[in-house]
Amino acid sequence: MPRLADQGSYLASESTFYRLLREQKQLTHRRSERPAQTRTKPRAVCATAPDQLYSWDITYLPSLIRGQFFYLYLFVDIFSRKIVGWQVYEEENSALAGELLRDLCHRENIQFQQLTLHSDNGSPMKGSSMLATLQQLGVMPSISRPSVSNDNPYSESLFKTLKYRPNYPLRPFADVTEARQWVTELVEWYNNEHRHSAIRFVTPGQRHEGLDENLLDNRKAVYRAARAKHPQRWSGSTRNWQRIQAVHLNPDKAEAKEGDTKEGLIQNKKAA
């Protein structure tokens, strides 16, 4: 328009030009590089028992050499929140991940097409070795959208829990053996001592073994007895100790199933 005005001509306003370009679909990407792609949310997955749905990721652990790291590969059962497999390596690649998954499926007796494995969009997760292992084991893959951490919330929140522990080392690890020793102690605490808020404050190990149902029933009885003894202390119902029967990963908006609690529907975003 300024050039036309310099030539003494006026055809239309800027908004008119943009309207015409929009009608002719000329306001979209027109450069030579690959255009932006529309990414859809990963399919919704639901677990109603252990060993149906795992999530995994890799996080960095500091070494004494600046810029170099150890890599913690970690697999978590989304239903029980139990860490079912882990290892610390000095490099990051899909072949190591495939070996760890193969060992994990053997130890947990995972049958063909029993398990769905979710991960983010990193190269070790999409590498040919890992994809071949998934196919051989009959494990169904689920991949996050690029740069969308909310698609893999369970692994992200688990790493935050582990790294915000008071005993997280203040100095870097001297070697991979020291890093593995620290993770061994951490996994033992997390699986067998940590009362997880998203599974009614039982340990992941208890829920994975199916021991949580009796524990929660006992808690219900304790609270009912306390309310019967001192009813004046209670203005409403007792604390909800109902077992969470289903855990959703990337649920659709309308996926509010019977029995879901508010905690259950938002647990994708809860910290471990």
SS3 217: helix
Q: Helix 94-107 vs helix 128-137: angle between axes, to the nearest 10 degrees?
A: 20
**pLDDT for position 34:** 62
* pLDDT at site 211: 97
- Taking residues 13-23, what's their average pLDDT? 88
List, for residues 110-155, the tens digit of each pLDDT value.
Answer: 999 999 999 988 888 989 999 999 999 999 999 888 767 677 889 9
Helix, strand or coil, per DSSP, at residue 72:
strand
Can you give the pLDDT at residue 165?
87
Instruction: Please say if the pLDDT value at position 230 is more than 70.
Output: yes
Residue 135 buriedness (CB in 10 A; 0-12 / 13-18 / 19+): exposed
If one compares 10 and 185, the residue with the highest pLDDT of the two is 185
**Mean pLDDT score of the chain:** 87
- What 8-state DSSP symbol labels residue 196? B
Q: Which residues pair with 72 in a beta bridge?
A: 59, 88
Residue 2 confidence (pLDDT): 79
What pTM value is reported for the model? 0.79
pLDDT tens column, 150-166: 778 899 999 999 888 88
Q: 66 by DSSP, 3-state: which?
A: coil
Of the candidates 94, 30, 76, 269, which has an alpha carbon nearest to the alpha carbon of residue 187?
A: 76
State residue 170's pLDDT score. Answer: 86
User: Which helix (H) or strand (E) element contains residue 160?
Assistant: helix 153-163
**Token reading at 144:** 């996050």
User: Residue 20: which region, alpha, beta or left (left: phi > 0; alpha: psi -120 to 50)?
Assistant: alpha
Would you say residue 194 has pLDDT above 70?
yes
Asked if 198 and 106 touch (Cβ cutoff 8 Å), the reply is no
Question: What integer pLDDT is reported at residue 33 of this predicted model?
Answer: 61
Domains of the chain as residue ranges with CATH: 43-272 (3.30.420.10)
For the segment 95-124, the average pLDDT, to the nearest whole number, is: 94
Contacts of 233 (CB under 8 A, 6+ apart): 226, 227
Other C-beta atoms lying within 10 Å of the C-beta of residue 175 = 11
Give the H or E element holding residue 186: helix 176-192
Say whether pLDDT at 82 is over 50.
yes
Does the pLDDT of residue 252 top 80, yes or no?
A: yes
Q: Are 137 and 110 in contact (CB under 8 A)?
A: yes
Beta pairing, strands 116-119 & 53-62: parallel
Are 10 and 4 a contacting pair, CB within 8 Å? yes
Instruction: Pick the range with the lowest mean pLDDT from 32-36, 170-174, 204-208, 220-224.
Output: 32-36
